[in-house]
Amino acid sequence: MKKLNLKIVAILVGFAMIITQNSVYSQITFSGQYMGRAEMRHGYGTLSDTSQDPGIFVSQRFRLGTEFKYDRIKMNFAIQDVRTWGSVANAAIDTKGLLSVYEANVDLLINKKWNVKIGRQAISYDDDRIFGTLDWAMQGRRHDAAIIKYHDSTWTADAGFAFNQNGESNKLTQYTVNNYKNFQYLWVNKKIGKGNYSFLFLNNGVAYNKLNTSTGVTDSITAYSQTFGLRGEYKGDKFNFAGYAYYQMGNVGAKKLSAYDASAEVGYKPIKGLLFTIGGEILSGTSQIDTANKVNNSFNPLYGTNHRFNGYMDYFYVGNHLNSVGLVDGYLRISYAKNKFIYSLNGHYFNTAADVLNPWETASLTARKSHLGSEIDFTLLYNYCDGVSIQAGYSQFFGTGTLQQLKGSPNSIAVSSNWAYLMLIVRPNTTTKFPKVGLKM
């Protein structure tokens, strides 16, 4: 930890020296943010246990970034401290490695329309469904990648590439980090009047071990899956429309993959500040009854900000519910903005997308889908001043026996689980606008 701190100080001093020597030709800007959140969790992410008392804690993120511009070069560097209050004693040496590099990249300007961004960076497109910054989580999400970028008045296109290893090596080694081995993607966006339309193609490679039965040696294998689809939205004076459809194919481990994700919603604004949105999403899943099926039909949203979708209590696709029976999510959102306040009420009704086999059934019984539960999310936001906001929320989840089975929690309380939080967000000198964090409105 001490060595890391010294390295960071050295980098910042180096930036200062460059600025001093090249003050006429260079420009540097600083940005910072603080996000602190107090939470009460009683069934967050999974159904609460009958003998479980609520968890209560405070976590925070402090991020400091700098952008250095010189001629046709732009360099970005950001560090962040992520911690839970009290995880290190007040008089102890902090050796838990809570300080890390969030961003470290260079942006090379080729001309007015083309540039290349290389290094550690956040990647976010559209509504964050497949690629997102995961800004709700204290650590966020970042990638070590190279992106070729094109933009003009109506077209934007990015081609991204990543290749990961555990570290430097003189021989071939198996990649063992819980991460993708490599990816290549193309994202194209076109703006037409009040409409915004995108295409995404992602070739995603994940490493795994496979035993070679003929030699008895474990081989290093990279399985590739392809995700591609379209997204469109239209924002009018009274009505909003949004929808997307993605398909996944290729391989997950040793199994073939065939899955999809589709969503559509419509919003209506009867008066200024009031918005009603009704919609639904279906993420395909793998049947528990059709055991003869050798194909994985479970869609994976991969690197999105999944907290924004399918309920704020994160029961689905936030480090869980992968390679499962999928999800059908019908939802209604109501939001009202007045002065510096935003009030939001969301309701979700969840069902499985594939057939479920309950413990008291056999595979010979009629295949059926099942209800998983419902959720209500209430959120209140207050814009204290430019760059500073306060956000509070309360959520209630009403689960079913089927969800108990899927979560593997027979002692859980299927009827209700709840979660509440209070959050302070400080973002001076950034382009992130209120109320970005944690909401889909």
- The DSSP code sequence of 241-255 is EEEEEEEEEEEETTE
CA–chain centroid gap for 221, Å, is: 26
Cα 78 to Cα 139: distance, rounded to the nearest angstrom: 12
DSSP result, 347-404: EEEEE-SS----TT--TTSPP---EEEEEEEEEEEEEEETTEEEEEEEEEEEE-HHHH
Q: Are the CB atoms for 210 and 185 separated by under 8 Å?
A: no
- Which of these, 26, 25, 8, 66, lies nearest to 430 by C-alpha position? 66
pLDDT value of position 6: 57
Domain over 2-426 is classified CATH 3.40.50.720 = no
3-state secondary structure of 197: strand
DSSP symbol at 141: -
68 CB contacts (<8 Å, ≥6 apart)? 15, 18, 19, 26, 27, 28, 74, 75, 76, 77
| pLDDT string in tens for the chain (441-residue length) | 445 555 555 555 555 555 555 554 579 999 999 999 999 999 999 988 877 889 999 999 999 999 999 999 999 999 999 999 999 998 898 888 789 999 999 999 999 999 999 999 999 999 999 999 999 999 999 999 999 999 999 999 999 999 999 999 998 888 999 999 999 999 999 999 999 999 999 999 999 877 676 776 667 789 999 999 999 999 999 999 999 999 999 999 889 999 999 999 999 999 999 999 999 999 999 998 887 788 999 999 999 999 999 999 999 999 999 999 999 999 999 999 999 999 999 999 999 999 988 765 555 455 577 899 999 999 999 999 888 999 999 999 999 888 888 887 766 665 679 999 999 999 986 666 666 666 776
Cα 286 to Cα 122: distance, rounded to the nearest angstrom: 31
3-state secondary structure of 31: strand
Q: Are the CB atoms for 133 and 113 separated by under 8 Å?
A: no
Phi, psi of 15 (to 5 degrees): -60, -45
Q: Are the CB atoms for 309 and 320 separated by under 8 Å?
A: no
Rounded to two decimals, the pTM is 0.89
Taking the CA of residue 433 as centre, how many other CA atoms within 13 Å lie in the half-sphere pointing to its CB? 0
Provide Rg for the chain, Cα atoms.
24
Cα 102 to Cα 83: distance, rounded to the nearest angstrom: 14
Strand 371-385, strand 327-338: pairing: unpaired
